[in-house]
Every structure is written in structure tokens, then in C-alpha cells.
A and B are shown apart, each in its own frame.
Chain A
């Protein structure tokens, strides 16, 4: 398998707190992407970080990438109830287009 586990598998926090999710992988990558999935819906793209980048921000989201450790983290600051969803990382390797997804973290924000 090219993809490791994401941790935690489930995370419940109070609204306003920060949420951190981690992703590990096993191969060299071209880029790593984070997606959100609300229950019964499709995947919504959040951030793409390339293998030569170490950190990216988008609004309340911050993604880091450590290629030496083959790991990435997604930080959501000042969480809101609407952030409740499953979050997946997905890797893209050089030479092909497919995404390989992790098992996801189910995030619950408690109002």
C-alpha cells in the first residue's frame, strides 16, 4: 500500500478549539492533497501542497508537509460546527494522475 493511516481516526473538540489531523504515506510523492467529505456528499478539495513545499495556508487551514518523515498535518484553527466532517489526505505520485486516499479522520465539533 502506498498510503498509511491517518490519525486520529476520530476527533471531537469544542467549537473554537484547534483541530490537528495527521497523515502518513510510504512512497515518494508529487503532491499531497487534503479533502473534506460531509456525510453522504462528495469530496471537497481543501489544499494541495507540492513535494517541494513545506507549509501552506488557506483561511483557517494550515497544512504542513515533511517529506523526510513522509507525513503531513492539517490544522483547522478556531473550529466551527460547520467543520464537522471527515477529512482525507490523498497523495499523487509522479507519472500518474490518480489519487491514493488515506482512511480519513472523522472530526466532530461540539457547539
Chain B
């Protein structure tokens, strides 16, 4: 069964540095999402992306964050000038059509030191 894949599985970065989290959604999917889960807390929506543009973003997704689909397969989340509170699991998800089940990757654990 097709899967959403995320790399790296674990990223350790110094505070203030930039990180790029990578995702390969399922190939025929058109809607892409990033979520994060701070340890012990609920999964939080960050951003949705459709037709090469952001369709919705949360209050968390401020100017520090950006997303890109640089080619036909990758979907990236960039976090500039990382802060300690950015430490979390970041999940990518995709879906083929609107209001259908979202398929999640296994996540990237981001640790900011």
C-alpha cells in the first residue's frame, strides 16, 4: 500500500538554525498537510497546501514557517531561526480528494538544543 514518507526521522538542531523537513506524499494525492505534536500534547494543524499554494494555515504557522513543493514529489516544511519550543514531532499527511481520510507519515522528531 502506498505510504507517505518523511525524512529525516530525527533531526537535532541548534537554536537559531534553519531546518527543512521533507515529505514525499502518496503520488496521486493532491492535498498536503503539516501537523505537529509537542510531547504529551494533542496533534495540531499547521498548514494545508493545494494546487501549489497554501489553502489554510493556523496561528502557529507564522513567518518563521514556510512550505514548498519544489518538484512533483516532495513537500517540504522549512522552519527558520528555530526556537526551543519548536521541538516536536512533525507529521506530513496527504489525501487524494477533499474531505477524505488523511494518510500520515511516521513523522520527524525535531529536537532544538
Interface positions of A (Cβ within 8 A of B): 3, 30-31, 33, 35, 41-45, 48, 88, 90, 92, 96-104
Contacts and interface: CB of A to CB of B under 8 A. Distances in A.
B106 A41 contact: yes
A88 B42 CA distance: 9
Nearest to A93: B99
Interface SS of chain A: strand
Interface of B (DSSP majority class): strand
Given A42-B105, A97-B55, A97-B98, 11 more contacts: A41-B106, A42-B106, A43-B91, A45-B101, A45-B102, A88-B42, A88-B43, A90-B43, A98-B58, A99-B33, A101-B44
Contacts of B99: 30-31, 92, 97
Contacts of B103: 45
Contacts, number: 58
Nearest to A90: B43
Most B CB within 10 A of own CB, among A31, A96, A97, A103: A97
Contacts of A104: 42
A42 B101 contact: no
Nearest to B101: A45
B104 interface: yes
A101 B107 contact: no
B48 interface: yes
Contact of A48 (B101, B106, B107): B101
The bracket for how many chain B residues form the interface is: 20 to 34
A104 B84 CA distance: 25
Contacts of A31: 99
9 contacts: A31-B99, A41-B106, A41-B107, A42-B91, A43-B91, A45-B104, A88-B42, A88-B43, A99-B43
A43 B33 CA distance: 13
A90 B33 CA distance: 14
Contacts of A90: 43
B45 A43 contact: no
A104 B43 CA distance: 9
B31 interface: yes
